[in-house]
Amino acid sequence: MKIVMLGAPGAGKGTQAAMICEKYDIPHISTGDIFRSNIKNGTELGKKAKEYMDQGKLVPDELTIQLLLDRVAKDDCKNGYVLDGFPRTIPQAQVLTEALAKTGEKVDFAINVDVPDENIVHRMSGRRSCPKCGASYHTTYIPPKREGICDVCGAELIQRDDDKPETVKNRLSVYHEQTQPLIDYYEKAGVLKTVDGTKDKDEVFGDIVAILG
Ligand code: AMP
């Protein structure tokens, strides 16, 4: 089962992706997480990616596409995977389609987690993440048990630089220009499924499970 998560930044697609991966026991592949781990480790890729990410821009396709193709070629991806944050541009989607077609495969579901823009800014400004283990929270929707502290590993939670209000505005306009066209792309491919992302996270997950079967 190969699943692509679509939706604006902050729509909750990362949370849903993690829940799907746990239920179906397939890997959760987030290009954003891969870039953040490269930034943390001070790699060349991390340095280059950070320049774009801090401005709310997309990391160029030349740095992103091969990284993703190498990741999905790994052994743990044999039974499928959930892509969270990839593709984000039509060229990325085309490369993925072509790479899968070589082995007679395709994206089985593109799940569009639909949330109107007005909800997004509130959602993103409340997002917090754990710099140590990567767990994500929201001050209103997914609060940690102890304020500001990670439930999983006890580290102090942070607000990602790219979740700060000025960056959020840029990320939303980048989303509308470059990523929203993917909704049409996957609709034409006959695999698009849209869920109402304004519902409670467990309800959204129930809707997704009903789709995936
Ligand atoms: P995310 O964690 O998916 O919200 O991604 C955070 C940031 O990483 C984005 O705002 C982009 O700067 C960068 N990024 C993640 N995935 C991609 C991608 N597929 N293409 C280009 N940039 C990406």
Which ligand 1 atom minimizes the distance to the CA of 53? Answer: 12
CA 32 – ligand 1 centroid, Å: 5
pLDDT of residue 156: 97
Assigned token pair, 66:
């091969």
Return phi, psi of residue 140, to 5°. Answer: -100, -45
pTM here is 0.87
Question: Which atom of ligand 1 is nearest to 31's Cα?
Answer: 16
For helices 61-72 and 90-101, give the axis angle rounded to 10 degrees. 30
Report strand pairing: 136-138 vs 81-84.
unpaired
Span 90-109, pLDDT tens digits: 999 999 999 999 999 999 99
Ligand 1 centroid, distance to 200 Cα (angstroms): 25
**Residue ranges in the chain modelled with pLDDT below 50:** none
Active site residues: 13, 88, 127, 160, 171
Residue 6 to residues 10, 36, 115, Cα–Cα distance (Å)? 11, 20, 11
Using CA of residue 60, residue 113, residue 206, residue 100, what is the dihedral sign?
Answer: negative
Atom number in ligand 1 closest to CA 30: 3
CB burial class (10 A; 0-12, 13-18, 19+) of residue 141?
middle
Please, what is the average pLDDT of the chain? 94
**From atom 15 of ligand 1, which residue's Cα is the shortest distance away?**
32
* Residue 209 pLDDT: 98
Pocket around ligand 1: residues whose beta carbon is below 6 Å from it? 9, 30-32, 35, 52-53, 57-59, 64, 85-86, 88, 92, 162, 171
Cα 189 from Cα 19, distance rounded (Å): 25
Q: How far is CA 115 from CA 7, 124, 143, in A?
A: 8, 12, 20
Tell me the CA–centroid distance for residue 110 and ligand 1, in Å.
17
Q: What is the pLDDT of residue 105?
A: 95
Q: What is d(CA 168, CA 190) in angstroms, rounded to the nearest whole number?
A: 31
**pLDDT at position 5, please?**
98
